[in-house]
Structure 1
Amino acid sequence: MSFGTRLSLAFAFLIVSSATATIFIGNAVFGQKADEMARARLELDLKVAEQIMGNRLQRLRYLAPAMANLVLGTTIDPRFCSYQLEDTPFDFVLLADKTSLSLMPIRREACAISSLEAETAARLRQSDLGALMGHVASTGEIVSGLVVIPQALLGDLGYHDISSDGLFMLVGTPLKSGSILVLGAILNRRTELVETTLKLLSFHANVSYKSSIFLGDVRIATTLTPDSLGTRADPQVARTVLTEEGLFAGVAEVRGPRMQSAYKPLRDFRGKIVGMLGIATDEDIYGFIRGRTTTLFSTLIGAGMVFGLIISFWFSRRLVRPVTELAEGMNRVAQGDLGFKVRVESGDELGRLARAFNLMVKAVMERDMRLRQMTDEKLSQVEKQVSVGRLAAGVAHEINNPLTAVLSLSMLMRKHLPAEDPRAEDLDIVIAETTRCRDIVRSLLDFARERPPEKRLLDINGVLRDTLALISRYEAMSAMNTEVKLAANPLWVNADAKQLQQVFANLLINAAEATRPPGTITVTTDEDSSGGFVVITVRDTGKGIPKEFMQRVFEPFFTTKGSGKGTGLGLSVSLGIVQHHNGTIEIESQEGQGTTVRVILPRENPERHDETAAG
């Protein structure tokens, strides 16, 4: 699977998962908010229903003084009864003095007052009706509120068809004569009150409501079906409102189906909870609103998700294109096409990466050209060394024996000549030049043969001491100030002592010949920073090597010495010996200030070396 495909899938997964999570969380939040709004609306409408009941009770309070002025005889004009029933429906008027209790049932056709029997009056005075009249008598003020009258006393007030306790709106007002006038309206089966509430709420809220009045938890008036009278409220509602004296707003069971409902307690004139006022509406109404909101929200999120997928696909293609071009460039370069360039014009990280890639390819191409040039030079040098080796071998075999004979005979003749013989000087010249030719032949043989070293464990400090002792009488060395700074601890190497002596002697003689007396030659030994190599340093204060000659110091037959003072094979032979010991030679020189030569050889652990040799 390509990087672009993986990137597109990653974007798609991120967008789809984010959109899905947003839809679920958003729908949950919207659903919760819809429920909260429904409860808040129900609570508000419940306050309206409560105000309707309060207004009805207030109108009774306004009517009570007028009724007190009209109760002069045993009857009231029917036209007044009819008018008041249209405006403020009420059921009876009670007139109580200290000894008697009179009842006036209110009818449209006639309003006649009659005295109640003493026993009936006594029972009524002992009920909450009597408590309200006593409160009026004690305060001398109008008292209004809800009153519960037991079912056994309802017949005394003319209610013979009520099979439960009665919940009444009562208003008691004191008269100048000392009597008390009570206006009463029963709420049981009083459909016009709940219907008025229903009509008003449905008109303003544009929602179909159901309204009920409860005595305790039993419905006594409702806009539900007639058979709902006498049924009980949801136990959760009854517990919240009647027991906990709180407001309930939420989903509750209303005669079977669950509806969005709101209930609050109804209190009598003393503040005691005697019932509940409740309104309810179908949950489907708010469910429809909730569903429509969540559908709209989900649609918007889905559309945004599709748009995001399109944008992410376009962006991933655009983002991957430079990476694809870089990958193509890498393949082309890997196949050897170093002239390929990635063309990415952007100024971002990918643009910088493309430019860095092009610079890298350019650097690789330049390095490749340098390597080819160096390889050609190395091959040329190797071919030269092979040719020199062949030449040296041929010269050695052809002239070594004649030179030996000439040198031996010359030395023998010089030995037998008297000191004053004029031919002695000529023989000395012959012996010196023949000796120089022999040394050249030996150097050629050493350069050509490259015999394998006979390695053993050596302390490099000891090898240097022996070498310094051997060449100390050399004329050039004796004129130098030699400073020897050898490491305090042994520095072990696995090497051929004679070959290393040849290398060190050559370096020391070169340093002495390059330095004017009284110059200084410093010889030091130490280990490198890693501890894995031994470093032998020969530093002089001579004339140094010109910069243009530094690349040629290891070439065979190259020398900066004058004619007849060197063969140019010393450093070549020394480098070959050191390389056969897995080491190298480094040269630093500054013209006019001297030269520093470092011989670097692998360091050996004597204990490990002994274990390897024993194995």
Structure 2
Amino acid sequence: MESKMNEKENPSGFKKNTLNRRLARFFYRMSFGTRLSLAFAFLIISSATATIFIGNAVFGQKAEEMARARLELDLKVAEQIMNNRLQRLRYLAPAMANLVMGTTIDPRFCSYQIEDTPFDFVLLADAGSFSLMPIRREACAISAISSEVAARLNQSDLGRLIHQVSKSGEVVSGLLVLPRPLLEVIGYRDITTDGLLMMAGTPLKSGSILVLGAILNHRTELVETTLKLLSFHANVSYKSSIFLGDVRIATTLSPNALGTRADPGVSRVVLKEEGLFAGVAEVRGPRMQSAYKPLRDFGGKIVGMLGIATDEDVYGYIRGRTTTLFSTLIGAGMVFGLIISFWFSRRLVRPVTELAEGMNRVAQGDLGFKVRVESGDELGRLANAFNLMVKAVMERDMRLRQMTDEKLSQVEKQVSVGRLAAGVAHEINNPLTAVLSLSMLMRKHLPEKDPRAEDLDIIIAETTRCRDIVRSLLDFARERPPEKRLLDINGLLRDTLVLISRYEAMSAMQTEVRLAPNPLWVNADAKQLQQVFANLLINAAEATRPPGTITIASDEDSSGGFAVITVKDTGKGIPKEFIQRVFEPFFTTKGAGKGTGLGLSVSLGIVQHHNGTIEIESREGEGTTVRVILPRETPERPDGSE
């Protein structure tokens, strides 16, 4: 009924569980060899598949890392091209100083102009005034700059460069930014944004400053030179761009790309974080493998970026071929592994089958069966261990049968002795009582110094000992059920110590009492347990020579579920060969006439009726330790809670 309700409430889950059970039954109906082959096949196929996926991912990652490393290397080449152009300006500036006469520039310079002159104009600065000579193919003209414009130039980055040259007295070169209005003054009226310029300044003997300059805006020969060099050496089609801030001012992309901005992620890494970017970024729409690094002016301030880019899948062909080759090798290895695993599983199952047959034979009682050991590997050791196990089982069965026979014999003996003891004790108890009573009565009425008094004392003492033996026999023969109640073991031990403190052998000993600080509650018969503890203490006292020490302690075990009462003495101990016999009826080590041999037997019976046990440890010449272990109880509180 319940399963039908579950099926109605969750039909999909019920169908899924049913399918799982059917698959499990189908799987376990297969032979072990088939299951082992399937397991090997699953492991090999799954491992090969995982290896292919992981390997392809690693190869893809390595290809990307190679692309980025190559981009970073090529970007350094592009940077070196710019630095070389700047170095030429730096070297030409002192050479040009020879063409400066006073505060004017020798017009004959134009006749010495070469095709790849790395600068576009020459500036001569002297005491706040500037003279300008643009470099043109058609003409070279020197013109003075108005004082207003000169003041603005002095406040710009150009003024800072001139000041640094004047202060250091050395050549200063680098990049700088000029606002658009100042670009118009020096002849760049077609540029609609601020300008990024290469400049080199050198001091003259007259105290003036000579400055050579070249603008990078809209200048394609520098980025084209970079593009040609990189494409030739790397055999990769690159795109190169120069940025003022994040705006393209020169590029080998289409002319429409001028004035566009770089990818925001690139700008953040290069301009804000002042780092190198190498990775995939958007370049006017498509995503490309790119590398960018910051451009700094002569003072170290970041003013722009230099970037190169190529197709995102530039290494796709290599990655594809590597992936195909790797997958083919793994696939071939997988097929070979499947063949080997099938052969190995069959070879592995054969000794297991023989071992299973041997187990069935042994289970049917054929303990003489042995499995053949044909190899020294794990299966061979397993077969050998199986044979040793069968041999051990045979020996254990023989020992168990022997122990069972001995136990049955002992039980039968105890039962017979118990019955005999009960009969004998009952038959002689009444005559003993009469003899003891009459002897005591005669001793009472004898006059003083009567020579018969000594004989009567002997009769009374021996008759009393016989009576004690009879009582022990009756206690051993009877199995009186205990009258249990909840009691504290610590209190019972204190009462027992008071009871036997006047015992002669006990009074000569040093007693150490180590009771648990908290009550140890047990459900027990107080009189019977007091008899057990008294017997243990008296045995300890009789086994110890004065001035010996007897220790009685109580505590809980490690689990907290049992109370452990320990009685320890420093006496002569029990010989090792007698330890196993101390609980046998009528067995004693005290010598003739000094004990009945029933004390520990009766004590063990009482403790076992309380669901407990007695443990004995002893070393001859060092003493004996007896532990009584009883289950603890939790007393109920007045409100009924525990």
Shift of 1:116: 3.0
1:5 aligns with 2:37: no
Counterpart selection for 1:199 from 225, 228, 247: 228
Shift of 1:303: 3.4
1:459 alignment partner AA: R
What do the CA deviations read for 1:17-68 (whole angstroms, capped 9, x no partner)?
A: 3334444444444443433333333222222211111110000111112222
Identify the residue that residue 475 of structure 2 maps to in structure 1.
489
1:49 aligns with 2:78: yes
1:141 aligns with 2:101: no
- Whether the aligned pair in 2 keeps the contact of 1:95 and 1:102 (CA below 8 Å) is yes
Shift of 1:143: 1.1
Shift of 1:361: 9.0
1:462 alignment partner AA: A
Counterpart selection for 2:126 from 74, 78, 97: 97
- Whether the aligned pair in 1 keeps the contact of 2:170 and 2:203 (CA below 8 Å) is yes
Identify the residue that residue 75 of structure 1 maps to in structure 2.
107
Identify the residue that residue 570 of structure 2 maps to in structure 1.
none
- Give ranges in structure 1 of 5+ residues lacking alignment: 366-454, 470-483, 494-527, 538-602, 608-615
SS in 2 for 1:41: helix
- Whether the aligned pair in 1 keeps the contact of 2:202 and 2:210 (CA below 8 Å) is yes
Shift of 1:96: 2.1
Identify the residue that residue 190 of structure 1 maps to in structure 2.
219
Distance 1:226 1:488 in 2: 124
Shift of 1:149: 0.9
1:327 aligns with 2:337: no
Q: Which has the larger radius of gyration?
A: 1
Identify the residue that residue 351 of structure 1 maps to in structure 2.
380
Identify the residue that residue 245 of structure 1 maps to in structure 2.
274
Identify the residue that residue 61 of structure 1 maps to in structure 2.
90
SS in 1 for 2:314: helix
Deviates most, 195-204 or 36-45: 36-45
1:254 aligns with 2:283: yes
Counterpart selection for 2:419 from 434, 439, 459: 459
Q: Indicate how the Cα distance of structure 1 residues 362 and 266 shifts in structure 2: closer, same or farther if over 3 A, else same.
A: closer
- Whether the aligned pair in 2 keeps the contact of 1:91 and 1:184 (CA below 8 Å) is yes
Q: Indicate how the Cα distance of structure 1 residues 488 and 174 shifts in structure 2: closer, same or farther if over 3 A, else same.
A: farther
What do the CA deviations read for 1:182-230 (whole angstroms, capped 9, x no partner)?
A: 1111101111111111222222222222111000100001111111110
Distance 1:363 1:156 in 2: 111
TM-score, reference length from structure 1: 0.57
Shift of 1:334: 7.8
Distance 2:250 2:389 in 1: 93
What do the CA deviations read for 1:61-117 (whole angstroms, capped 9, x no partner)?
A: 111122221245552254521x2x32x432111122226322111123443323234
- Whether the aligned pair in 2 keeps the contact of 1:76 and 1:112 (CA below 8 Å) is no
Distance 1:349 1:144 in 2: 80
SS in 2 for 1:104: strand
- Whether the aligned pair in 2 keeps the contact of 1:214 and 1:220 (CA below 8 Å) is yes
1:284 alignment partner AA: D
Shift of 1:302: 3.6
Distance 1:456 1:322 in 2: 55
- Whether the aligned pair in 2 keeps the contact of 1:460 and 1:490 (CA below 8 Å) is no
Matches within 5 A, 1:395-414: none
Counterpart selection for 1:154 from 166, 177, 183: 183
Shift of 1:168: 0.4
- Whether the aligned pair in 2 keeps the contact of 1:93 and 1:105 (CA below 8 Å) is yes
Shift of 1:167: 0.6
Give the number of equivalent residue pairs. Answer: 408
Q: Indicate how the Cα distance of structure 1 residues 341 and 146 shifts in structure 2: closer, same or farther if over 3 A, else same.
A: same
Distance 1:359 1:126 in 2: 102
Identify the residue that residue 593 of structure 1 maps to in structure 2.
none
Identify the residue that residue 241 of structure 2 maps to in structure 1.
212
Q: Indicate how the Cα distance of structure 1 residues 229 and 462 shifts in structure 2: closer, same or farther if over 3 A, else same.
A: same
1:9 alignment partner AA: L
Q: Indicate how the Cα distance of structure 1 residues 247 and 464 shifts in structure 2: closer, same or farther if over 3 A, else same.
A: same
Shift of 1:536: 11
2:68 alignment partner AA: R
TM-score, reference length from structure 2: 0.55
- Whether the aligned pair in 1 keeps the contact of 2:242 and 2:249 (CA below 8 Å) is yes
2:230 alignment partner AA: L
Counterpart selection for 2:299 from 270, 277, 299: 270
1:461 alignment partner AA: A
Shift of 1:265: 1.2
1:5 alignment partner AA: T
Identify the residue that residue 564 of structure 1 maps to in structure 2.
none
1:69 alignment partner AA: N
Distance 2:233 2:53 in 1: 34
Identify the residue that residue 165 of structure 1 maps to in structure 2.
194
1:80 alignment partner AA: Y
- Whether the aligned pair in 1 keeps the contact of 2:422 and 2:474 (CA below 8 Å) is no
SS in 2 for 1:262: strand
2:107 alignment partner AA: T
Matches within 5 A, 1:475-486: none
Identify the residue that residue 422 of structure 1 maps to in structure 2.
none
Shift of 1:304: 3.3
Q: Indicate how the Cα distance of structure 1 residues 344 and 153 shifts in structure 2: closer, same or farther if over 3 A, else same.
A: same
Q: Indicate how the Cα distance of structure 1 residues 16 and 244 shifts in structure 2: closer, same or farther if over 3 A, else same.
A: same
1:490 alignment partner AA: F
Shift of 1:254: 1.0
Q: Indicate how the Cα distance of structure 1 residues 97 and 2 shifts in structure 2: closer, same or farther if over 3 A, else same.
A: same
Distance 1:120 1:47 in 2: 38
Distance 1:15 1:163 in 2: 67
Distance 2:393 2:303 in 1: 98
Distance 1:7 1:321 in 2: 12
Q: Indicate how the Cα distance of structure 1 residues 230 and 116 shifts in structure 2: closer, same or farther if over 3 A, else same.
A: same
Shift of 1:289: 4.0
SS in 2 for 1:112: coil
- Whether the aligned pair in 1 keeps the contact of 2:93 and 2:200 (CA below 8 Å) is yes
SS in 2 for 1:168: strand
- Whether the aligned pair in 2 keeps the contact of 1:102 and 1:115 (CA below 8 Å) is yes
Distance 2:43 2:246 in 1: 54
Q: Indicate how the Cα distance of structure 1 residues 99 and 32 shifts in structure 2: closer, same or farther if over 3 A, else same.
A: closer
1:76 alignment partner AA: R
Shift of 1:121: 3.3
- Give ranges in structure 2 of 5+ residues lacking alignment: 1-29, 395-414, 430-468, 480-579, 588-604, 610-642
Distance 2:59 2:385 in 1: 53
Distance 1:92 1:359 in 2: 104
Shift of 1:148: 0.8
Shift of 1:237: 1.1
